[in-house]
């Protein structure tokens, strides 16, 4: 059996190595400690020094083939889930992800994910980096965020994409419906993001270990009585929940965001408009093909649920 390889994403940066392995490889912490202490776990090619070693984004953790049996129960089962595939070759696959689809299996979502679908559409031919559950995943979208996402199909493509994300060479624009109306027509939010001090399940601009986060935004349209606005947001960095956290910190949380905003309806005289999910859509994604070097850009039209909410807001008048 091949070694198991797990890349460290921004979500996992600063985690202890033993905790990271227990989460990704299905080990207990004591099992992870035994492998680490025996010198059988490597971090970016070098033997791990201690179980409490703090990881950095971009680190590659390798688990020896002697531990391969621990991952068999976490095999990525192919599932025939309908997908809108925007581009596919032997190196990458680009998908227009619908809202409600989780990117990869995790606790609470053992199947029915984008990765299960890609295992079906590629015949199981995915990158080994991040296998079995996150094979070729270089970035992700939240379950309730729709839009364009790219996944590497082989390891060379994975490293090529990963370097572009790390070097901020990837262009990403989002459309978001937010609460209220910003005072300016555009702006830049430059606030570090890290785990919330009060709730470790949330991200926050108030954190003891925040990392640089940069979001540029532009007002596209505002609606009745300044109840809501449509904004375009562009990522300068790629932190967990970045747009959601930054817009909430500016006083304009994404509509339907139950974690950072809780604005699930727009009330007006005579009724209310229900918000079906967080109104965030990854509209465009641009990058160089990791093998050919060709500049590629993909776009996704506004999904029906967001378009429907916008039409209802417009119908209220100014």
Q: Which residue, of 74, 102, 133, is where some domain finishes?
A: 74
In this structure, the answer to whether residues 50 and 130 fall within a common structural domain is: no
Statement to judge: residues 128 and 247 lie in one domain? no
Q: How many domains does the structure of the chain reveal?
A: 3
**Are 28 and 92 in a shared domain?**
no
Residues that are catalytic:
142
Are 102 and 70 in a shared domain?
Answer: no
Q: Are 180 and 309 in the same domain?
A: yes
Name which of 281, 86, 250, 248 is nearest 173 in CA terms.
281
Question: What pTM does this model have?
Answer: 0.80
For residues 158 and 264, membership in a common domain is answered with no
Q: Are residues 102 and 44 in the same domain?
A: no
Distance between CA 25 and CA 33 in Å, rounded? 13
Tell me: do 68 and 97 sit in the same domain: no
Do 59 and 185 lie in one domain? The reply is no
Asked whether 116 and 56 are in contact (CB, 8 A), the reply is no
Asked, for residue 208, whether it belongs to a domain, the answer is yes
Neighbours of 3 (CB within 10 A): 15
In a domain, 79, yes or no: no
**Could you list the pLDDT tens digit for every one of the 318 residues in the chain?**
467 888 998 888 889 999 898 878 767 787 788 888 878 899 998 888 899 999 998 899 998 765 544 443 357 889 999 999 999 999 999 999 999 999 998 767 789 999 999 999 999 889 988 877 889 999 999 999 999 999 999 999 999 999 999 999 999 999 999 999 999 999 999 999 998 988 878 999 998 889 999 999 999 999 987 789 999 999 999 999 999 999 999 999 999 999 998 778 887 777 789 999 999 999 999 999 999 999 999 999 999 999 999 999 998 865
Shared domain for 231 and 152, answered yes or no, is no
Q: Which residue stretches of the chain are H helix? A: 17-25, 29-37, 114-121, 155-166, 242-249, 304-314
Domain that residue 181 falls in: 171-287+295-314
Which CATH number does the domain housing residue 307 bear?
3.30.2350.10
**Strand, helix or coil at 138?**
coil
Beta strands 46-47; 84-88: pairing state = unpaired
Contact (Cβ atoms closer than 8 angstroms) between residue 130 and residue 264: no
Whichever domain contains 22, its CATH number is 3.10.290.10
Same domain, 300 and 180: yes
């Amino acid at each position: 059996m091949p070694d198991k390889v797990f890349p460290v994403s921004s979500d996992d940066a600063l985690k202890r190595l033993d905790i990271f392995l227990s989460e990704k490889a299905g080990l207990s912490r004591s099992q992870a400690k035994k492998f680490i202490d025996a010198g059988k776990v490597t971090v970016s090619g070098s033997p791990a020094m201690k179980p409490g070693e703090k990881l950095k984004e971009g680190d590659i953790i390798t688990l020896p083939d002697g531990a391969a049996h621990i991952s068999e129960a976490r095999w990525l089962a192919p599932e025939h889930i309908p997908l809108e595939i925007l581009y596919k070759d032997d190196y990458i696959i680009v998908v227009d992800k619908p809202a409600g689809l989780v990117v990869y299996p995790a606790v609470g979502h053992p199947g029915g994910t984008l990765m299960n679908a890609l295992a079906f559409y590629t015949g199981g031919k995915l990158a080994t980096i991040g296998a079995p559950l996150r094979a070729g995943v270089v970035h992700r979208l939240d379950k309730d965020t729709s839009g364009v996402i790219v996944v590497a199909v082989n390891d060379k493509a994975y490293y090529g994409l990963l370097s572009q994300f790390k070097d901020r060479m990837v262009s990403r624009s989002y459309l978001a419906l937010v609460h209220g109306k910003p005072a300016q027509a555009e702006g830049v939010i430059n606030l570090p993001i890290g785990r919330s001090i009060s709730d470790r399940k949330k991200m926050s601009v108030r954190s003891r270990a925040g990392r640089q986060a940069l979001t540029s935004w532009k007002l596209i349209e505002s609606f009745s009585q300044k109840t809501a606005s449509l904004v375009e947001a562009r990522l300068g960095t790629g932190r967990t929940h970045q747009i959601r956290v930054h817009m909430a910190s500016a006083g304009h949380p994404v509509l339907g965001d139950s974690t950072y905003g809780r604005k699930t309806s727009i009330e007006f005289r005579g009724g209310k408009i229900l918000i079906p999910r967080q109104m965030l859509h990854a509209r465009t994604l641009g990058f160089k093909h990791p093998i050919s070097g060709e500049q590629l850009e993909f776009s996704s039209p506004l999904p029906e649920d967001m378009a429907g909410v916008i039409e209802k807001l417009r119908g209220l008048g100014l």
